[in-house]
Amino acid sequence: MREIVLDTETTGFEPETGDRIVEIGAVELLNHMPTGTTYHEYINPERSMPQEAFEVHGLGDDFLKDKPVFKAIGQAFLDFVGDAKLVIHNAAFDMKFLNAELGWIGLPPLPDDRAIDTLAIARKRFPGAPASLDALCRRFGIDNSARTLHGALLDSEILAEVYLELIGGRQPGFGLDRREEDRVAGADTAWKPRPRPTPLAPQITEAERAAHSAFVDAMGEAALWRRGGSA
């Protein structure tokens, strides 16, 4: 199963009022493992950059003026994503911009049902809890220290890790630094998961902890949970 973890940066919030995409970053996953294949483009929006947007991603007019316009990269972008599912945080926002840009140059839109929204998954798993990308990195102990400004490729790489945690945890083969030829050849030096830089916060509540203690106390001194500390 092929999936593309994707992020965009834009000049604002509404393509209908003239806002444009200025950066696309994407990471390819195959069976929930990164292949090492990525897509990244800076894009000339053919308009000036609002200060509010510049403060988010740091992409200004001087930097973008010699970058390709969307028309020059649109087909290559569609070729890269192919028919893969698109993993996006707050998918409605990015899909709205991508389909607006594709429509303006006469290319087919991306169907909304191809998008997997990690924001929706996070809100369902952790109702009432913060669900921003930074908040999910803190929850899962994922290092996002390089994320001083928003950047589409970096955010896609971080989101790939967050996504795998959201759907059930990092897989044994999930190694961004593993060489593709080693994976294909089945080298003996297989990647092994590294310890988290920050342990996950306890998920058990105080009420659950107290109920468990009362249950163990009711079983007497011979209870299994009393042997060598908590299990």
Q: Which residues are catalytic?
A: 150
CB crowding 10-49: b at 16 or more within 10 Å, else e: bbbeebeeebbbbbbbbbbbeebbbeeebbebbbbbeeeb
Q: Residue with structure tokens 């390089």?
A: 146
Cα–Cα dist 169/176, whole Å: 15
How many angstroms separate the Cα of 117 from the Cα of each of 22, 63, 65, 109, 112? 21, 30, 32, 18, 10
Question: CB-based burial of residue 3 (10 Å sphere; 0-12 exposed, 13-18 middle, 19+ buried)?
Answer: buried
Cα–Cα dist 158/152, whole Å: 10
Cα-Cα end-to-end distance for the chain: 37
- 98, two tokens: 């991508």
Nearest to 98 by CA among 186, 117, 88, 139: 88
Nearest to 137 by CA among 118, 114, 111: 118
